[in-house]
Amino acid sequence: MNIQENISLKPFNTFGIDQTARFFVTVRSIEDLKEALQFAKAENLEVFILGGGSNILLTQDLDLLVVKLEINGIKLLREDSEHVWVKSGAGEIWHDFVMYAIEQEWAGIENLSLIPGTVGASPMQNIGAYGVEIKDVFESLEALNRESLEIEVFDAESCRFGYRESVFKNELKGQYIICSVTFRLRKQPVFQTSYGAIQDTLAKNGVKTLSIRAISDAVIEIRQSKLPDPKVIGNSGSFFKNPTVSFEKYEELKDKFPAIPGYPQDKGVKLAAGWLIEQAGWKGYRNGQIGVHDKQALVLVNHGEGKGKDLMNLSQKIQDSIFEKFGVQLQPEVNFI
């Protein structure tokens, strides 16, 4: 195991923020992971687990051990007439896993194409897009208990999934490291095309017969048209969660802002955070090296040498302005480090 010192994290976060880790190590097995945790304990160091770096905003140098998780491998565990159960290492790139499933004609995650990050991060915040969430295809996960160094198994109920939430972001935050995830995928697809511009994109592309690949291609096309490539301009995709308000609050907003989009849920109406931010005048905003993307107001960007603290301050200003204009509190989807 090669533990390095004073390593720039710029290549390891999609915002491209240049902050330094005091210690850095890449682990490719559970045994390596245990060894890294033992090193940190002996040196009295905190540990930060790094996946794809697509959902973090670095605001300072990290005086700790950064563990880059690259536990890979995809394995078909079992199957029946309707489903396959597929286990993936936490270090697999999420989009690569989706593409692998499509090649095998396993359905259920095609709507989640091109979401950045790793498989291990997917249940942590219950990633979702275009009407599908991880909880819909989740079977179980294996996670290493940081204290006991024992592997424990969590089923869907014990993960307590919510909107961009799980037990690992709340009660068990910092106590476990996800090492693998098992998904239950379908042999016969159940197509989900009613969200976003999927149907319009399929029609534009002349798709006559639905397939999981056609839906994946449409989702990729939509995401690429809306979201900037982190390799071109630093960003983490959607910076804020879409807020949910009460039915009464939505009617109140509808009276003041007739064009406001709303999506009824069980416990209220989900609003489009990007629409709120755009209406508040932030779309295309730029201050030096940081700003808001000119095509998608939900995306904060680093134009080159931006600082994490400046982006954090900008996000707070956006939150304040949205609350002042609409009386709605936005919550970041990105984790501040």
Q: Do 137 and 109 contact (CB within 8 A), yes or no?
A: yes
Instruction: Using the predicted structure, report yes or no on whether residue 38 has a pLDDT greater than 90.
Output: yes
Residues 83 and 28 in one domain: no
Q: What is the pLDDT of residue 263?
A: 86
Residues 114 and 174 in one domain: yes
- Among 28, 47, 69, identify where a domain stops: 69
Segment 239-252 mean pLDDT: 92
Name the residue among 117, 118, 116, 123 with its Cα closest to residue 169: 123
- Among 186, 219, 250, identify where a domain stops: 186
Residues 57 and 90 in one domain: no
Domain contains 65: yes
Residue 8 annotated as catalytic: no
pLDDT in tens, 105-133: 999 999 999 998 899 999 998 988 888 99
Listed ranges 70-79, 225-234, 266-275; the one with the highest mean pLDDT: 70-79
Residue 214 tokens read as 């056609």
Q: Which domain holds residue 305?
A: 234-336
φ and ψ of 93, to 5 deg: -65, 130
Q: Could you tell me the pLDDT band of residue 266, with boundaries at 50, 70 and 90?
A: confident
Domain contains 49: yes
Q: What is the pLDDT of residue 226?
A: 81
Domain contains 265: yes
| CB-based contacts of 125, cutoff 8 Å, min separation 6 | 55, 164, 165, 166, 169, 333
Name the residue among 14, 6, 88 with its Cα closest to residue 239: 14
Residue 333 annotated as catalytic: yes
Residues 175 and 82 in one domain: yes
* Paired residues of 290 in beta bridges: 287, 302
Q: What is the pLDDT of residue 304?
A: 86
Task: Work out the burial of residue 301: count CB atoms within 10 Å of its CB; fewer than 13 is exposed, 13-18 middle, 19 or more buried.
Answer: buried
Domain contains 134: yes
Q: Do 226 and 287 contact (CB within 8 A), yes or no?
A: no
Residues 307 and 239 in one domain: yes
Comparison of pLDDT for 116 and 102, the residue scoring more = 102
Q: Is the pTM higher than 0.75? A: yes
Domain contains 214: no
Q: Please identify which of the residues 133, 164, 180, 184 carries the catalytic annotation.
A: 164
Instruction: Using the predicted structure, report yes or no on whether residue 225 has a pLDDT greater than 80.
Output: yes
Residues 291 and 274 in one domain: yes
Instruction: Using the predicted structure, report yes or no on whether residue 193 has a pLDDT greater than 90.
Output: no
Domain contains 87: yes
Residue 48 tokens read as 């930060």
Give the number of domains in the chain. Answer: 3
CATH number of the domain that residue 84 is part of: 3.30.465.10
* Paired residues of 52 in beta bridges: none
Helix, coil or strand: residue 178: strand
CA distances from 11 to 54, 127, 264 (A): 11, 23, 40
Q: What is the pLDDT of residue 58?
A: 94
Q: What is the pLDDT of residue 227?
A: 84
pLDDT in tens, 126-163: 988 888 999 999 999 999 999 999 999 999 999 999 88
Residues 162 and 80 in one domain: yes
Residues 113 and 44 in one domain: no
Residues 78 and 57 in one domain: no
CATH number of the domain that residue 265 is part of: 3.90.78.10
Q: Say which amino acid occupies 65.
A: L
Cβ–Cβ contacts within 10 Å for residue 257, how many?
14
Q: Are strands 62-69 and 138-145 parallel, antiparallel or unpaired?
A: unpaired
Instruction: Using the predicted structure, report yes or no on whether residue 1 has a pLDDT greater than 80.
Output: no
Domain contains 225: no
Instruction: Using the predicted structure, report yes or no on whether residue 33 has a pLDDT greater than 80.
Output: yes
Instruction: Using the predicted structure, report yes or no on whether residue 255 has a pLDDT greater than 80.
Output: yes
- Among 53, 69, 85, identify where a domain stops: 69
CA distances from 23 to 26, 68, 84 (A): 11, 11, 40
Q: Do 290 and 245 contact (CB within 8 A), yes or no?
A: no
CATH number of the domain that residue 30 is part of: 3.30.43.10
Residue 238 annotated as catalytic: yes
Q: What is the pLDDT of residue 150?
A: 94
Residues 81 and 180 in one domain: yes
Q: What is the mean pLDDT of the chain?
A: 92
Residues 87 and 61 in one domain: no
* Paired residues of 183 in beta bridges: 86, 138
Residues 31 and 80 in one domain: no
Name the residue among 71, 64, 66, 101 with its Cα closest to residue 86: 101
φ and ψ of 264, to 5 deg: -60, 135
Q: What is the DSSP string of 196-211?
A: TTHHHHHHHTT--S--
Residue 279 tokens read as 């209406």
Q: Please identify which of the residues 54, 140, 236, 238 carries the catalytic annotation.
A: 238
Domain contains 228: no
